[in-house]
Amino acid sequence: MQPNDNALTTFRAQPGAGAVVRCNRSRTPPFEGHEYPSSVTADAQGHFAMPGTPSRACILIAISADDTEAAALRCLPMEQPEVEFRLAPPGSVVGVAYDADGKPVAGMKLGCHPVGFNLPPGGRFRTDFSTRTDERGRYRIEGLIAGFRYSLQYLPPGTSSFKHTKYFTPEGGEMPHVMDIYLEQ
């Protein structure tokens, strides 16, 4: 495989000026003798070029300069040399955990992870979340990139590893994605 040295990805979203765009790091090593940049910054018109993007499918992640909006986009640079991001405010997921008798489960551990990409730590948008349900079995996880798939894993009481996974795609803005958890006996 050869790098796509002429890849130009066009970013056309507001606020686009100064947005930071990253190409996900795949598990395969970079092309021999070439490494595409870990991130680039969009110009005043919201355009950016990321030379050397991999010729295989990748995920581009854009975060606005003020860290208030983000977007993630799966693309194949060889077939999609220009893409358009639709930035959105962060999304969230909320819910209640219930036991087999329908009673709320307090203190249950949950983990939330994006499917297929990672971001560096810090900032509003993170990629590794964990929380516990409160005394009424409720949980809330914020700072998710809207429109992109996440996995929610939960650790039922009395178990030692995350065994249950649910997938969801949050919307951006004020309305959280609701995902209640029902444990079985």
Domains of the chain: 1-87 (2.60.40.1120), 91-182 (2.60.40.10)
Instruction: Give the Cα separation of 66 and 6 in Å (integer).
Output: 29
Question: Among residues 66, 37, 41, 69, which one has the least CA distance to residue 54?
Answer: 37
Q: Which of 15-29, 107-121, 162-176 has the lowest mean pLDDT?
A: 15-29
- The b/e string for 144-173 (b: 16+ C-beta within 10 A; e otherwise) is bbbbbebebbbbbeeeeebeeeeebebebe
How far is Cα of residue 18 from the mean position of the Cα atoms in its chain? Answer: 20
String of DSSP letters for 82-109 = S-----B--EEEEEEEE-TTS-B-TT-E
Residue 14, pLDDT > 80, answer no
Please report, as a single letter, which amino acid is at residue 59: I
Kindly state the average pLDDT of the residues 24-42: 62
Whether the predicted pLDDT of 177 surpasses 80: yes
Longest dimension (CA), the chain: 59
Residue 54: predicted pLDDT: 66
Handedness of CA 157, 162, 164, 168 (dihedral sign): positive
pLDDT of residue 94 exceeding 90, the answer is yes
Q: Residue 103: pLDDT above 80?
A: yes
Asked whether the beta carbons of 71 and 84 are under 8 A apart, the reply is no
Picking from 136, 133, 135, the residue whose alpha carbon sits closest to that of residue 152 is: 133
Per-residue pLDDT tens digits for 110-154: 998 888 877 766 778 876 688 999 999 999 999 899 888 999 999
**Identity of residue 19:** A
**Could you write out the DSSP letters of every residue in 109-141?**
EEEEEESS----S-SS--S-EEEE--TTSEEEE
Tell me the average pLDDT of the chain: 79
DSSP label at residue 83: -
**Cα(55)–Cα(50) distance, rounded to whole angstroms?**
12
